[in-house]
Amino acid sequence: MPGGGAVQRARSAALGAVVIAIGAALLASPATAQPADREPSIGPGLEWVAHRDNPFRQGDDPNFINSDLAFTGDYLVQGNYAGFSVWDIADPAAPTLVSAVSCPGGQGDVSAVGDLVFVSIDETMSDDSCEAARVPETIEHWEGIRIFDISDPSAPRYAAAVRTRCGSHTHTVVPDPASSARVFVYVSSYSRGASIDCTGRNPLQIIDVPLDAPEDAAIVGALDLFDDATAFGTEDRVAGGAETRSTTGCHDITAYPAKALAVASCRGDGLLLSIADPLAPVVLQRVRDPAVAFWHSGIFDNDATRIVFQDELGDGFVNTCSPDFGADRGADAVWLIEPGGLAKVGTYKLPRTQSDLEKCVAHSGGLVPVPGRFIVSQAWLEGGVSVVDFTDPAAPVELTWFDRPGYGYSMDYTAGIWAVYPYDGYLYASDMYEGLEVLRLTDPLFADAARYDSTGLNPQTQPEYAWVWREAPVVPTASAERAPLETLSVEPAELEPAATATVTVSLPPGSLTPGETADVWWMPTQSVLATLTAGEDGSLAAAEVRVPGPLDPGRYDLVVRGDASAPRIALASLAVVAPAPTPETARGDSASWWPFVVVPAVLLLGAAVVVVVLRRRRRPT
């Protein structure tokens, strides 16, 4: 039943979801979260600020492990093979579990758009309900995408379900460039063995989701990105190369809507796609690498001139972070996007050798927004978290890390950090068994990264970063162009000449994007006087700023510009006026000469009088 249909939609809307009771034990701090022998190694410029236990965990049962992450406003959504969790991260150092929805299906890849949460179901279930049981792939079953409404995050509502061929291993949200009222969801899946409908090559399926009516979500397209001639097969393996997996579909797609591009990691092949028409992606180039066993995922740099591909050698079940596998296996590969196509220019491998009791391989990560740099945060399963600078693609450098000791024994299933993503100056890491880790980027290098993403982030839908605050605003000089600008309140609005002064600035509600970061600019020197945060109503609370001098008579522009609402600005013109002379000051000016004129005159006159008197006394009688 592709797309669900009316019966499916009505049934899905009525399906229940179980919200797990939240216990106080989940609220552990880093200092008390782990035994002493489980304390992690932490690199420079990074601080471990919070740990929260996995609310679903049942011992070492892999049916209850965490998976991917998504962000919407002050909420983090953490996928799990048994459902998903919603965390309040308004205070990143004190995440609060708001709800944990029990709705099994694995692997629980998640995205969030406003109040909607999309969950990938890649295990064959008896039906689409949250009470469904796992069943063999060789009998009738359901798998695909579930959609939840978290407008009340404490009580998420199951809104819809869409069945897809071969389920959904991962998915990617792509905005509709023609309408903000809907999004498209690219569903990635690949064959896993004997199945009634998950064999051969699986197409890229596209779901249309009306944001105000998710129950109407339906499949609107299916595209086979390969054919017999282009899909990687066992016959394409190179002697001495990797045991590369045959291409039967894509594992993961990262879209870059602002550049109309996407990068697809498809087991044996890497693809660069044009998504100028999101309903009709076009393959621009296919690449292969003899060193890559499993093309897992990809990350663009901000300029879309480079891509880092991850190789999930061993599917996450072995330790590839050892000398036995070399420097280019289970690693990152850096490719340049050139006019002639993609060109591989470098590789990166986690520099810390891991025990063979640990599972370690390149896994999910995202771009850390630092101007002029290509920096990525990446998970390495039990190898932990790595922050890597790929700015020089031929010589990548690890900047910092977070690496917890292994579980101490070889687990039957994979373990460790599934994914790690930057959000609003912090790194959030999803540990499969342990829970949620929050790390703060403290190095000044990452200062600009703290000024992004507070409205939301789906890491597989890569945003474009503009760093607008690094360049001074452009203020018009013509009165007709200045008049329509938002008026910045400044008190006092008029000053006397001085070496420097302090003024108070503010903006009413609705002036800025709620919660955005805003700079106060002093336009004479094109410098930032203060960096402030907009209120939840878009206002700017009264704040004192010190303006530099010398403040000679004239008019001086003050500007407030927010990061999210740019290029819009609010403008104030500060007047510096010399005080007008008063009668008192006028008299004071003339009187100021009397010590130099009157006093000597009096003295001279007195001397003359004395002389006259003396001379009179000497006259003869």
Q: Is 315 helix (H, G, I), strand (E, B) or coil?
A: helix
Question: Confidence class of residue 606 from pLDDT cuts 50, 70 and 90?
Answer: very low
* pLDDT tens per residue, range 330-371: 999 999 999 888 999 999 999 998 888 889 999 999 999 999
Which of these, 387, 381, 383, 385, lies nearest to 432 by C-alpha position? 381
8 A C-beta contact, residue 326 and residue 240:
no
CATH code for position 502: 2.60.40.230
Share of the chain above pLDDT 90, in %: 75
Asked whether residue 127 falls in the same domain as residue 255, the answer is yes
Q: Are residues 134 and 214 in the same domain?
A: yes
Pairing relationship of beta strands 570-576 and 494-495 according to DSSP bridges: parallel
Q: How many CB atoms lie within 10 A of CB 388?
A: 23
Q: How does residue 227 score in pLDDT terms, banded at 50, 70 and 90?
A: confident
Residue 33, H or E segment: helix 30-33
Let me know whether 491 and 593 are in one domain.
no
> For the segment 301-320, what is each residue's pLDDT rounded down to a tens digit?
999 999 999 999 999 999 99
The CA-CA-CA angle for residues 66, 202, 120, to 5°, reads 25
Answer whether residue 264 shows pLDDT above 70: yes
Which segment of 89-98, 323-332, 365-374, 387-396 scores lowest on mean pLDDT? 323-332
| CA angle centred on 209, ends 203 and 215, rounded to 5° | 115
Top pLDDT among 95 and 564 is at: 95
User: Coil, strand or helix: which one is 31?
Assistant: helix
Task: State the pLDDT at residue 253.
Answer: 98
The CA distance from 427 to 421, in Å, is 5
CB 400 within 8 A of CB 440: no
Structure tokens at 350: 């986690």
Q: Is residue 372 situated within a structural domain?
A: no
Report the relative pairing of strands 282-287 and 269-274 from DSSP bridges: antiparallel
Please name the residue that has the structure tokens 């010399």: 578
Residue 268: domain span: 1-17+103-234+244-281
Q: Would residue 44 count as lying in a domain?
A: no
CA distance 295 to 335: 13
Residue 621 has pLDDT above 70, yes or no: no
197 shares its domain with 276:
yes
pLDDT band, residue 584 (cuts 50/70/90): low
Same domain assignment for residues 603 and 523 = no
Instruction: Please give the model's pTM, rounded to 2 decimal places.
Output: 0.86
Angle at 317 between CA 316 and CA 320, to 5 degrees: 70
For residue 255, CA distances in Å to 131, 278, 396, 549 come to 33, 10, 23, 48
> Own/partner pairs for 9-13, CB < 8 Å, 24+ apart?
9/160, 9/215, 9/216, 11/128, 12/128, 12/158, 12/159, 12/160, 12/161, 12/215, 13/158, 13/159, 13/160, 13/215
User: Same domain for 588 and 572?
Assistant: no
Do 249 and 147 belong together in one domain? yes
Mean pLDDT of 380-400: 96
In whole angstroms, what is the distance from residue 268 CA to residue 288 CA?
A: 7
Report whether 360 contacts 416 (CB < 8 A). Answer: yes
Determine the 3-state secondary structure of 560 from DSSP. strand
558, β-bridge pairs = 522, 572
Instruction: Check whether residue 592 and residue 541 sit in a common domain.
Output: no
Q: Answer yes or no: do 177 and 268 share one domain.
A: yes
DSSP string, 343-412: EEEEEE--SS---TTS-B---BEEEE--TT--EEEEE-BTT-EEEEE-SSTTS-EEEEEEEPPP-SS--S
Q: Is residue 397 part of a domain?
A: no
Q: Is residue 542 part of a domain?
A: yes
- Specify the pLDDT at position 22: 58
| Ranges 175-179, 608-612, 616-620, most confident | 175-179
Per-residue pLDDT at 609: 35
Find the Cα–Cα–Cα–Cα dihedral 171, 374, 415, 187, rounded to 10°: 10
pLDDT over 90 at 619, yes or no: no
CA distance 250 to 501: 61
Predicted confidence (pLDDT) at residue 597 exceeds the cutoff of 50: no
How many domains does the chain fold into? 3
Kindly report each contact of residues 319-322 with a partner whose C-beta sits within 8 Å and lies 24 or more positions away, as own/partner: 319/354, 319/355, 319/356, 319/357, 319/358, 319/359, 319/360, 319/382, 320/360, 320/361, 321/349, 321/350, 321/352, 321/353, 321/354, 321/358, 321/360, 321/361, 321/380, 321/383, 322/353, 322/354, 322/356, 322/360
Which tokens hold the place of 16? 């229940």
- Per-residue pLDDT, 27: 53
Within-domain flag for 111: yes
Residue owning tokens 């179980």:
18
Reduced to 3 states (helix: H, G, I; strand: E, B; else coil), residue 214 is helix
Q: Could you give the percent of the chain with pLDDT greater than 70?
A: 87
Grouping H, G, I as helix, E, B as strand and the rest as coil, residue 12 is: helix
Q: What is the pLDDT of residue 24?
A: 44
Question: Among candidates 335, 300, 347, which has minimal Cα distance to 460?
Answer: 300
Is a pLDDT exceeding 60 seen at residue 257? yes
> What pLDDT shows up at residue 229?
85
**Residue, of 357 and 147, whose pLDDT is higher:** 147
217 and 181: one domain?
Answer: yes
CA distance 533 to 520: 11
Structure confidence at residue 410 (pLDDT)? 58
Helix (H) or strand (E) holding 188: strand 182-188
Across 383-403, average pLDDT: 97
- Asked, as a colleague might, if the bond just before 567 is cis with ω within 30 of 0, I would say yes
pLDDT digits (tens, 9 = 90+) for 169-204: 999 999 999 999 999 999 999 997 889 989 889 999
What pLDDT was estimated at residue 620? 38
Residue 122: which H helix or E strand, with range?
A: strand 116-125
The reply to whether 481 and 556 lie within a common domain is: yes
* Mean pLDDT calculated for residue range 233-241: 91
Residue 474 neighbours by CB distance under 10 Å: 9
Dump pLDDT digits (tens) for 434-490: 999 999 999 999 998 888 767 899 999 999 998 888 899 999 999 999 999 999 999
Given a cut of 60, whether residue 611 has pLDDT beyond it is no
Q: Cβ distance 503 to 545 under 8 Å?
A: yes
Average pLDDT over residues 261-274: 97
CA–CA gap between residue 120 and residue 111 (Å, rounded): 9
- If you average pLDDT over residues 42-64, what whole number do you get? 96
Tell me how far apart the alpha carbons of residues 352 and 8 are, in angstroms, rounded to a whole number: 50
- 543 within a domain of the structure (yes/no): yes
If you average pLDDT over residues 65-86, what whole number do you get? 97
Of the spans 22-36, 312-326, 581-595, which averages the highest pLDDT?
A: 312-326
293 within some domain: no
Across the chain, mean pLDDT equals 88
Q: Which DSSP letter does residue 267 get?
A: B
With the C-alpha atoms ordered 352, 356, 358, 364, is the resulting torsion angle positive or negative?
A: positive
Residue 102 has a pLDDT of: 97
Q: Is residue 307 part of a domain?
A: no
Residue 584: exposed, middle, or buried by beta-carbon count in 10 A (0-12, 13-18, 19+)?
exposed
Same domain assignment for residues 131 and 167? yes
